[in-house]
A and B are shown apart, each in its own frame.
Chain A
């Protein structure tokens, strides 16, 4: 158990809809990263939030957006869902500071199916 939780565990949406996924970071962590893991692939970095501001983004379109709240919980929002958005969405939290890399701890993921 990493202390990182995600909700919901599973979700089914239809093409064109919008979805919000949630993540609760491990206690004391100030950074959250979101990853998309398509079936049979490794996780792909979507973006990272540090102290409520976006701090890096991968090769994902603007319809993927996020928020980080003062309690360091986080949301991933995806608009205009496409079939290819079907994947396992993982969030990872870490404690970053002083330019020093820290380990990211992953939650169990939310499996999204777009029909």
Chain B
């Protein structure tokens, strides 16, 4: 069974500082990996996705993520956070083919301090 672990429940970062959110997955085959962001009371917005190819993936809003198969990780990074980045971030894994479900982690809540 596929699973996702986001070990950090809550992270606080100063505005302008760098950010890294951790994601570890468990999946028997080649995974499809996603990062979504959710603002309070809102749905999920796709930040970036990894299907294949270059293991460093660029997304929207200046985010990037790196797929490391040997570590079963897909960590999200941003070099300089903005106050508007405060939100809940979810990592998700899906099968590499077919119409299968996404499995989400429990999320990391990001707080930005001035």
Contact = CB atoms under 8 A, between A and B. Distances in A.
B42 A108 contact: yes
Interface residues of A, number: 31
Contacts of B102: 33, 35, 43, 45, 92, 104
A33 B101 contact: yes
B63 interface: no
Contacts of A108: 42-43
Interface residues of B, number: 28
B106 A101 contact: no
A48 B90 contact: no
Interface string B47-61: 001010000000000
A48 B101 contact: yes
B49 A48 contact: no
